[in-house]
Each structure stands twice: as structure tokens, then as C-alpha cells.
Chain A
């Protein structure tokens, strides 16, 4: 599968420690919240990248094996997402969202995370438009739907809900806290 990312790093053929040394350099130059793909052939790179991401605050999204190549996806840490207050007033918690899904209510879910985050686990049926692309793509959404917006922690979805409200959407709900705490069914691409 192809996942769009902000930057691809080719670390194929490099032995430890080089995949991480290079990843660290590249991620420094990314904007917070951007996603990179690290292509490596060193088997140990999966566990090491994961542990490094944990200790440095970045998000390890997952790894895809493509023949001998391991494609690791990482998202640069973003301090903005750490703050807890949200502004959009209409919120739905995860339990209620789950009940709606399980009750076979016809609802729309908009996932505003990056495609790589979406690819490694999302609610079945959710539509993915990353926050950064919403301005150009909001017309793909149906204004009449009851729209549940979700992201990782509730911050990007809050911004998305505000944006859509400005565009004239009237039935928009922010799902809190977000995918980090979601325990319902997951789809992977």
C-alpha cells in the first residue's frame, strides 16, 4: 500500500546505528505533526525506532514489510496536541460513538489524522481527510450529515470542527479524546 507522507528517508542497506541517526536528522527539519517514512533493511530497526520514538516523544505509527524492505512510519511530536482544552462545543465521547456504531445508526465519521496514522488503524467506515487538506477538500463532505470528527487526541478534530462550522456545517461533533483511547473495532489498510 502507498501511504502519502511528508518525507521519505532511504536507509536501505545501512546497519545500526545509521537508520536512527539519519531519521533523527530528518525529523528535526520536519514541521510538528508531519509524517515521515523510513525505508530500512536492518531487522533491528523496528524495535529500535519504536523505542527511540517513545523516548523522544515522537509517534511511531507502524511498519509495513515490503519484501526485504521495512517501511517505518513516524510522526513528529507536536506540543500543540498536548493541550487539553478544546473550543468546539458539540462533543461526543468514545462510548457514545461506539453505541451509535453498534446500534447500526447511520453516522458519518471524519478522521482528520495524517494518512499514515489512518492506515495503521481507524474506525471502519471513517473517511480520511487530514486537517491540513480540509480547507481544500471540505466540499467532499455532505453538510446535512451528522458528522463525527476524530483524530488522535481530540485537538486536530477540534480545529477541524471549528473550520467546518465556519464553512456553514451545522451538525458537527468533536469526538473526544480520540483514537488513542478507542477500544472498538479497527480497520487497517
Chain B
């Protein structure tokens, strides 16, 4: 019988850069749209329905001496194929990814970023299946989460394990690629939900505005979250500096790229804001700040233990989005050659504004697929 592998085990192997071989048996369109990547992952695709008469077509493409993880949409078809490979072709190292890509898209892997000066700590939650990053700040029994994802129970268990109370739920901007869990979690724990007011003009619920100069205190006033208004990706996009060390840049600045300004269909209008933020406002900040973005796009961005981060000064040297001196060229870069819009992005925005309230299953469907918030070279 093939062994079951949990998404958590797979995530740990990926962030530890272990060699992994994956056979993805979903249909090829889905595979081409979105697959498991990262570390030393090798992945091949052969739809399960082409193997119903036997696994011969793929036997020669599979390593005999390595563990093979079979993956499908929900875990049923991959189990069947893993069994067939054992029974018909004598493979002995078969694993089945429990829950398939559906579970994978929802897995959050917590990675410690570092300690805070007052004894608290900062964690980055890496959503390997989608490239989303969220942040958990704990200090003296209190916690704040920035860019909370939809799977709020994961943060709740994390807080319970550490015996801290979640008090502040902060979104750097109105997300268009994933559904925010901030509002729901705030309601559940009696916390405060913060949004930049310029991104919240159409929301249907009450929120607390984040504004430059109005710090948010987590714990015993020792950890300060300083909102820095930095329009560009959305008009309200806000970045935060935590503990004078950590710089949460939302979807403005990534490790390998910069944010795309067009998710609300306003690329042309916001190019100047984005440029001003990246080429002027951020430049005035300390080069030693550790940039922690809300997304990553490439598996190679996963650093030690899976942490996605970079020093601001380093990014000014290497990030291609920060090397464009000519304004016209910059405009061209961020308004042309844009990757396709994230799947279902309009519905996701409406959900985050409270305008529509899809069922859980529907929310999951809306989020399936890769993240496409970044401008690539």
C-alpha cells in the first residue's frame, strides 16, 4: 500500500531543499496552470485517465531508486495510480499526497524570521501552494497578524500553542489574489481589523483605518507597527516597519521583482505612485531593514528553512525592478508584458470588500491556481 504523505511533511521537505520527485496525475491544463515547485523538486505530469489501462506509458519516466510522490486534485486518483505502480510495475517507494493540490493550496508553513528586541518574535507563514506570505508578530502575550490568509484556524492553533491572544488583524492592501482571513478572524477573536482607508472605500463592513503616524501597539507597547503609506500596487497599499528591523512591503516590493500596479485595472494611473514609492520613499529608509513581502514568485526565493526575505540595501543592488533609471522605461516595464490576471481576481476583490459572500468551497475554488501579483523580467 502506498504511504500517505501530509502537506506538512511535503512542505518541510521542500523548505529544507530535499530532493523530491513528484508524479502529478491531474489533467495537463491544470498542471500547466499550477504545480508544486520549490527547492529541489522534480515534477512530471501524466493524467490519471491515460493510465487506466495500465501504467506502462510512464514506467520508464519514473526513478526506480527514489521515493515518488503522486499528486492529484484531491488525493483519490493519485492513490489509485500509486497503487497501480506498486502492484503492476513493482515500485516500492510510492507515496500519496493526502488531500492533493486542494490541501496543498491551503497549507501554511510557519518559519521563524527572528526575535524582537523585547523578547517577542516574528514568524512568516509561507503558503507554498500559492506563494502568499503572511506574518505573525507575538509580544508579551499579544499577537498581530499581517495579511492573514483564509485558513484562519492555522493561525488560531499557532496562537494557542504559544498561549498568546490575537488582537490585531492588519492587511497591507485590499488583496486581489487571495481571500483575506483578517476580518473573519478579527470577528472570531474580538480583535481589530485594519485596512488602508484608500483601499476600503467600497467595503461593506466596519474596519479600523491604518494611517501613517498612527502606530499599532502589540503587547506592552514594545513592538511598534509603523504604517508607511506607499501607494502603487493598489492606491492604499501600506507598508509596515516592525521593531525597527523588519520591513513588511506587502505587494509593493518583492525579493525578485516588484508589484504590478494593474490589479484593479489602473496600471497607467498608478505607475507614478509605484515609482515614487520604490525610487524615493523606500530609499530614505535604512538599508539594513529586512524586507518581508506578501508574496514570492519563484521557488529560488525560498531561503534557509523556507524564509523569503532580503535586506533592503541588497535589493537596491540586485532587484531588477529597482534598477530602471529611465521613467519611461519603468512605465513600459510595469504596464507591458504583464502576466495574466490571477484567477477569479474580481470575485476575490468583491469578497474582500464584503460585497459577495461565497460558500467555503467556492472560496477555495476561487483561490486555486498560481499567484500572479508580481512583474517579472
Residues of chain A touching chain B, judged by Cβ–Cβ distance below 8 Å, are 15-18, 20-21, 24, 43-44, 47-48, 51-52, 55-56
B28 touches A16 (CB 8 A): no
Contacts of B80 in A (CB 8 A): 17, 21
Known contacts A16-B76, A24-B52, A47-B29; 18 additional CB pairs below 8 A are: A15-B74, A15-B76, A16-B73, A17-B48, A17-B52, A17-B80, A20-B48, A20-B52, A21-B52, A24-B49, A43-B365, A47-B27, A48-B27, A48-B49, A52-B27, A55-B49, A55-B50, A56-B49
Query: How far apart sit A86 and B80, CA to CA, in the bound complex (Å)?
Result: 45
For B, the interface residue count at a CB cutoff of 8 angstroms equals: 16
User: Which of B29, B72, B77, B365 touches A51 (beta carbons < 8 Å)?
Assistant: B29
Given known contacts A47-B27, A48-B27, A55-B47, A16 and B74 CB-to-CB distance under 8 angstroms: yes
User: Which B residues between 162 and 205 are near A, CB-CB below 8 angstroms?
Assistant: none
For the complex of A and B, the 7 pairs showing the least CB-CB separation, nearest first, are A17-B77, A52-B49, A51-B27, A15-B76, A20-B49, A16-B76, A16-B77
Tally of contacts, chain A with chain B, CB under 8 A: 45
Contacts of B50 in A (CB 8 A): 52, 55
Contacts of B77 in A (CB 8 A): 16-17
B30 CB–A CB distance under 8 Å: yes
> What are 23 pairs between A and B in contact, CB < 8 Å?
A15-B74, A16-B72, A16-B73, A16-B74, A16-B77, A17-B49, A17-B76, A17-B80, A21-B52, A21-B80, A24-B49, A43-B365, A44-B73, A47-B27, A47-B29, A47-B30, A51-B27, A51-B28, A51-B47, A51-B49, A52-B47, A52-B50, A55-B50
A112 to chain B, nearest CB (A): 30
Q: Which of B28, B72, B77, B365 has most A Cβ within 10 Å?
A: B77
B2 to chain A, nearest CB (A): 14
Contacts of A20 in B (CB 8 A): 48-49, 52
Query: How far apart sit A44 and B72, CA to CA, in the bound complex (Å)?
Result: 11
A11 to chain B, nearest CB (A): 13
Query: How far apart sit A47 and B32, CA to CA, in the bound complex (Å)?
Result: 13
Minimal Cβ-Cβ distance residue in A for B52: A24
User: Which B residues between 37 and 69 are near A, CB-CB below 8 angstroms?
Assistant: 47-50, 52
A59 to chain B, nearest CB (A): 16
Q: Is the interface of A mostly helix, strand, loop or mixed?
A: helix
Contacts of B76 in A (CB 8 A): 15-18
Query: How far apart sit A35 and B30, CA to CA, in the bound complex (Å)?
Result: 27
Contacts of B365 in A (CB 8 A): 43
Query: How far apart sit A58 and B50, CA to CA, in the bound complex (Å)?
Result: 13
A44 touches B49 (CB 8 A): no
Query: How far apart sit A16 and B28, CA to CA, in the bound complex (Å)?
Result: 16
Contacts of A43 in B (CB 8 A): 365
User: Which B residues between 109 and 155 are near A, CB-CB below 8 angstroms?
Assistant: none
A32 to chain B, nearest CB (A): 19
Contacts of B74 in A (CB 8 A): 15-16, 44
Query: How far apart sit A47 and B80, CA to CA, in the bound complex (Å)?
Result: 19
Query: How far apart sit A25 and B76, CA to CA, in the bound complex (Å)?
Result: 18
Contacts of A24 in B (CB 8 A): 49, 52
Q: Which of B27, B28, B74, B80 has most A Cβ within 10 Å?
A: B27
Contacts of B47 in A (CB 8 A): 48, 51-52, 55
Query: How far apart sit A48 and B50, CA to CA, in the bound complex (Å)?
Result: 11
B360 to chain A, nearest CB (A): 14
B304 to chain A, nearest CB (A): 36
Query: How far apart sit A56 and B365, CA to CA, in the bound complex (Å)?
Result: 28
Minimal Cβ-Cβ distance residue in A for B79: A17
Contacts of B49 in A (CB 8 A): 17, 20, 24, 48, 51-52, 55-56
Q: Which of A17, A47, A55, A56 has most B Cβ within 10 Å?
A: A17
Minimal Cβ-Cβ distance residue in B for A43: B365
Query: How far apart sit A43 and B362, CA to CA, in the bound complex (Å)?
Result: 11
Minimal Cβ-Cβ distance residue in B for A15: B76
Query: How far apart sit A43 and B50, CA to CA, in the bound complex (Å)?
Result: 19
Contacts of A21 in B (CB 8 A): 52, 80
Contacts of A18 in B (CB 8 A): 76
Minimal Cβ-Cβ distance residue in A for B361: A43
A26 to chain B, nearest CB (A): 13
Minimal Cβ-Cβ distance residue in B for A51: B27
B72 to chain A, nearest CB (A): 7
Query: How far apart sit A24 and B53, CA to CA, in the bound complex (Å)?
Result: 10
Contacts of A15 in B (CB 8 A): 74, 76
